[in-house]
Structure formats: structure tokens, C-alpha cells
Amino acid sequence: MLRSVLIANRGEIACRITRTAQRMGLRVIAVYSEADRHALHVRMADTAICIGPANARESYLNVASLLAAARESGAEGIHPGYGFLSENTEFARACSAAALVFIGPPPSAIDKMGSKSAARQLMSQAGVPVLPGYDGADQSDAALTTAAVQVGFPLLVKPTAGGGGKGMRIVRAAAELLEALASARREAAKSFGDDRLLLERFVEVGRHVEIQIFADSHGNAVHLFERDCSLQRRHQKVIEEAPAPGLSDATRTAMGEAAVAAARAVAYEGAGTVEFLYDGSGFYFLEMNTRLQVEHPVTEMITGIDLVEWQLRVACGESLPLKQQEITRNGHAVEARLYAEDPARGFLPSTGTLSRLRFPAQFEHVRVDAGVEQGDSVTVHYDPMIAKIIAWAPDRGSAIDRLRVALEHTEVDGVRCNARFLWEVLGKDAVRSGAVNTRLLEQGKPGTAEESADAQRDAWLIAACARLVCAPGMAGADLAAGGRPWASGTGYRLNGPPARRVALRSGEAAHWLSVESEDTAEAITLDGVRYRVALSEHSAERIAGRIDGRPFRASLAWEGETLHLRRQCLLHTFQPDTGAAPAGSASHEGQCRAPMPGHVLNLRVAENQLVAAGEVMVVLEAMKMEHALTAPWAGRVTAVKVQQGERVDEGADLVFLEPLVVEHETQSAAPD
């Protein structure tokens, strides 16, 4: 076994490999660019060496610098992680030439699978199903056009090198082909330094199902079941799960056997992934990733196997720890990729300092693989992934529910993130039923970090309750605790039902909510509509209960009188709104008063008149300026105390207004 390993990567994968290597007793050497000097993977390592400036080509992609760091640190092996140089044949050969154990497949296997065209040909020879297409050496427009007609439209143009969806073009008619070829070549050359293309039949509604394989140097090869990675956006995976939903046992078995055959065809060693396109009846080889995958945790959670440990052992010449029949799966796991990006702005990356970062670490069967901590920065230099959040449960529905709750308890401030988008995707009917495909997320718009009007209304109701029962210092201000009557927050009065007013502002919006106690609940009036809110839990950090029978939960954070309320992966900030209502005791809550001395320039209401919230009732002229006084809620005018043209003093009663209260229909719903 190795005694030390250098991790030629950064971020969450470097942190993840470090944890396993250190558990196995290995000394871990981290490398970092100048931009990553204080990164988490650097802090976790036993030794850390700077390998260059922020530009990845001069640091993480600089083979000479990586090998020099290995020599300097005395590393015995190099783990490439995924991305960067993980599938670079020349790097694998350079490690071997430097007498370093490359923790990955042999260079020959990387070579054979590095070209999608060569891989297609090899898989076809090995009996692995492939899509009809063209992978020939003649790359002229004429040859590709002839092949396209034979394959038929629609078809997919793909670079033979690289991945991540770069350079891929869907062509639906012959007239679109030449432009697609030209643009695909340009992007492929820019991204991979190789402009060669292949053509494949395009499957309109398909699923991306991949098989995790493992092989050793002793001729053993196994699969560790399948993952479904169909939920993608612009060919980038968003949600992954294992096992894949809705496959027959016969299909699962056939896929696993085909993947092992693919591994044997290239004399594979180590961890790899064979990707298939499943069209509902058959499956076809797409490509083989000769490395560990981002989504490997879902496989680990259903098998109980640490894939990084297997990588390290196989790289040192050990046999696979288990035979195929000894590998079992248990339950279901789902993974969400949490990125610093703004769904409301086309998923543009978001940079900045993570001023607040909280993960649901206390949740059972929830795993978080993160590459950052609170106070770290997301920069423009690298992939903006914050973390992967993975949930396991005995069944698929429970795993999805657990992951949604975990996302709700994930708090990210300082950058925009896609948590709400992920939460909405996991709540889609098609996703929950298992009817997933690679184009599902392109068909709708789940996740613009917006919420419904009902959800926004509920946030105001929850905030009102939180200010009354959860705010620091509120507990001792009532009569039962010996407080002064005029300092009480209970709404106590000698005549009439007790009511409390909560004036709140969030951004440009402001509301004045009335709260009355009703047995075990609170009756809250918002915009003239009455809601019943029953609390089951409340503290300075958390509040939960039911609104008209619908369950809710939210986390709270206080900065003085400012309340930060997090619910359903969105942050709401509320502050007291001193200007939302006239000052006065509870007995004068229905009055419109003169805020200053002046003349009644325009009286626009009469007794018994119905007015809408925000409607102008009186216009005062004071200091040569006009001041419109509006209705704070929808209501009925019960009294008018002034006449047009009359002079009034500051604080004079002008209009009495009674709220229009609508009993909101109680209904039950599933937990949010």
C-alpha cells in the first residue's frame, strides 16, 4: 500500500479523496494555485505546495509543476480526481515515467476510450450496442453529408474528444447540417484541441443511464449497478440517482454485462463509467469515462463501498475486494449539485465570499461533499460548484423527500445559488413518478428562484408569528411575566378582543398584519383575509406549524430587529416598518390620522364606502405640498370625522376604517 499520495485536483473532489486517504493512514499532499492558497482542500491536507498562478493551464493543468511537487513532497502516487488531467494519457504516462503510481486506468485504456469514434468502433466489435452513426476517418463536409443522409434526421453532431456537451449540435434537417458542422468544429477545436466529429442518430426522448465498473490487474472486472443521470440542463447533469427508476431486471442485467464487456475489451483497471442512452426499449453505448465520476456518491450510498479506497487498493496491485455476486445494493440515493449560479439570469456563475454557509450535517442518511466552508470565496477561475448533497432512503420517494428537506436546511449567503432550482426540480410530478429523460428540464422552467403568490403570502404570515414569539427578548414582555401593561405584547385591552399589530417591510413591500389569539392558534389578518396559524415548534432559530391546515417549516436568523427567514430554499428578509401604520394604541388601529397640521384639500371617501388597500382616502395640503393618505387594508369606512377644506391639527382623527375580513378556506396539503 502507498504511504503518501498527491491529489492533482482541487475543490470538493480533492477534499473527498483526502478524507478516504487519511482514513487509510496515507499522508496527503495538496497542490494549489495562488487563487486557492487558503482553500479547504489545502487546509485539510498534511502538506500543501503551490504550483502556479490562478490560470488552470499554468497550475492544475501544468504537468511539469505537478511532477515537481510530487518530487518535492516525496509522494509515491498521484490521484488525478476528475476533470483537469484525469483522462489525459500523457499525464498518466509521465507519472509512470517518474516512478509514481497513477491512480487511474492504464494509458492504453485512456487512449482507446479518449476518442468517441474509436470507442464506438471498439464497442461494436465487443458486442456492445451502439447507435447508428458515422465514425469514419474522412472528415470532409461531403463525407459527413453523405453519412448524415444514410443515418437520417434528426441526428447529433458530436466532437470525438472531450465531453460535457461541448460542441454537440442537434440537426433536424439537411439544410442545417453544414452550419452545425462548422460551429461544432470551432467549439471542439477551442475546447479540446481536436476538431474531428462523429454523427449519431438523435433520440428525441431518451435517458442517460450509466454503469459504474471496476477492474483490477488480475483480470477481475465487476459492475456496481447503474445510475440515472437523465436530469440535465444543456447537457450538464443536475440530479443523479441510483438505481435508475423503472428499468426491468432484464435490462439492468444486460446493461451491467455490457459495461463489464466494455471494460474487458480495453483491459481496463480501476474505476470507470460506461454511459448508455436508453430509449425505453433498448440501450446504446455513448462513451466510457476513464475516471471517477462526480456522481459516484450515489453508488457508494446504495452499495456501502468506498470507491476511492478501491481505487487506491487496485492501483497498488491488490485484487478487487469483492466478486460480482458479493456486491449488493440497498435502498435508493439521490444527489443534487449545488452551484454558485443565478437561475434567474440564465444560470450565470455567481462569485463572491460565502458569508454564510450551513449544510444539513445533522440529518441522518444525508451526505454533503463540499469543497468550501463559510468565509471561503467562489472565484471566476474555476468551476462554481459549492457542494454535492446526497440523500439515501429505503425507497426512491423517501430519498427525494429527504433531499428536498436537506436543501431547505442548506443556507448560502454571499453568492446566488441554485438550491431553489434543485428543490423545484425534485418536486416536479414527472421527476417524482420516475418519468425522467434528458430533455425534461428543457421543456419547462422549474427554478427561476421565484415563488408563487401563495408562498409569498405564507412567508409574511410566518414572519408575523416569528416576530411575536421567536424574536430575542419577546418571552418576558407579557403580563404573566410581571411586565408593565403598556409594555405588553399580548394585545390586552379592557374592552374588545385582544389584537396585536405587526408592521413589516420586505424590500419595497410593506404590510400591517393583525394577530388575535384563538384557542391553540393565532388568527392573522393580511390584506383583509383571515388565516389560522397553529405553531408546533418555535425558537429563535426555527419555527414550524400549519397555516389553514397546510404544514410549514422555516429557519430564522436575527440581526437586531431584522429577521432573515429561510423557507423552501429562498431567503426573505423582514424589518419592522415604522411607517406602515399610524402610531397609537390598539383601540385606534382603525383610524386614519393627520400626520401633520394642514388643510383637507380633497376628501375622497364617505361613510359605509368600501375601499381597496392602498386607495387614497384623504389628501392633505401642508407646507405647500400635497400628502395622500391611503387605506392600509381593504375595508369599509365606518366614520368620516372631517370635511373638505377644514383645517386639522397633527394627530387629528380623519377617517375610521374597518377591515374586510374573509375567512380563508382551510385545506390540507402535503408537507412543503
Q: Is the same domain home to 461 and 547? A: yes
Q: Is the same domain home to 470 and 360? A: no
Q: Find the angle CA(197)-CA(165)-CA(176) to the nearest 5 degrees.
A: 55
CATH number at residue 343: 3.30.470.20
Look at residue 326 and give its three-state secondary structure: helix
What is the total residue count of the chain? Answer: 672
**Helix pair 396-408, 419-427: axis angle to 10 deg:** 150
Full residue range of the structural domain in which residue 655 is found: 590-662
Of 576, 598, 616, the last residue of a domain is: 576
Look at residue 597 and give its three-state secondary structure: coil
Euclidean distance between CA atoms 558 and 573, whole angstroms: 10
Regions of the chain where pLDDT drops below 50: 446-449, 475-489, 491-492, 494, 580-588, 666-672
Q: Is residue 672 part of a domain?
A: no
Torsional sign, CA 241, 246, 252, 255 = negative
Q: Is the same domain home to 553 and 627? A: no
Q: Is the same domain home to 32 and 58? A: yes
Q: Is the same domain home to 457 and 572? A: yes
Of 103, 136, 152, the last residue of a domain is: 103
Of 531, 554, 576, the last residue of a domain is: 576
Look at residue 251 and give its three-state secondary structure: helix
**Helix pair 307-315, 296-303: axis angle to 10 deg:** 100
Q: pTM of the predicted model, to two decimals?
A: 0.80
For residue 651, what pLDDT is reported?
75
Euclidean distance between CA atoms 21 and 79, whole angstroms: 10
Q: Is the same domain home to 502 and 558? A: yes
Q: Residue 567's CB: how many other CB atoms inside 10 A?
A: 21
Q: Is residue 400 part of a domain?
A: yes
Provide the β-strand partners of residue 647: 599
CATH number at residue 550: 3.30.700
Q: Is residue 544 part of a domain?
A: yes
Q: Is residue 228 part of a domain?
A: no
For residue 444, what pLDDT is reported?
62
Q: Is the same domain home to 462 and 410? A: no
Q: Is residue 399 part of a domain?
A: yes
For residue 1, what pLDDT is reported?
86
Q: Is the same domain home to 518 and 562? A: yes
Count each helix (H run) and each strand (E run) in the chain, helices first: 16, 40
For residue 603, what pLDDT is reported?
93
Euclidean distance between CA atoms 137 and 617, whole angstroms: 80
Look at residue 644 and give its three-state secondary structure: coil
Q: Is the same domain home to 643 and 624? A: yes
Q: Is residue 519 part of a domain?
A: yes
Q: Is the same domain home to 463 and 570? A: yes
- Per DSSP, the residues of 35-61 read GGTT-HHHHHSSEEEEEE-SSGGGTTT
Q: Find the angle CA(447)-CA(448)-CA(451) to the nearest 5 degrees.
A: 85
In sequence order, the 6+-apart residues with CB closer than 8 A to the CB of 602 are: 618, 619, 644
Euclidean distance between CA atoms 561 and 467, whole angstroms: 9
How much helix, strand and coil, in percent to the nearest 5, is found in the chain? 30, 35, 40
For residue 487, what pLDDT is reported?
41
Q: Which of the residues 10, 16, 185, 291 is marked catalytic?
A: 291
First to last CA, the chain: 49
Comparing CA positions, the residue from 591, 453, 468 lying closest to residue 533 is 468
CATH number at residue 26: 3.40.50.20
Is the bond preceding 243 in cis, omega lying within 30 degrees of 0? yes
Q: Is residue 438 part of a domain?
A: yes
Euclidean distance between CA atoms 273 and 260, whole angstroms: 10
For residue 348, what pLDDT is reported?
86
Look at residue 170 and give its three-state secondary structure: strand
For residue 28, what pLDDT is reported?
98
Q: Count how many domains the chain has.
A: 4
Ramachandran angles phi, psi of 411, nearest 5°: -120, 120
Comparing CA positions, the residue from 355, 284, 323, 299 lying closest to residue 123 is 284
CATH number at residue 603: 2.40.50.100
Q: Is the same domain home to 419 and 496? A: no
Residue 255 CA: distances (Å) to CA of 79, 566, 651: 28, 43, 80
Question: What does the block give as the cell for 623?
Answer: 407646507
Q: Is the same domain home to 393 and 439? A: yes
In sequence order, the 6+-apart residues with CB closer than 8 A to the CB of 62 are: 51, 52
Lookup result for grid cell 391639527: 649
Torsional sign, CA 577, 578, 582, 588 = positive
- In the residue annotation, 367 being an active-site residue is answered as no
Q: Is residue 402 part of a domain?
A: yes
Question: What does the block give as the cell for 12?
Answer: 470538493
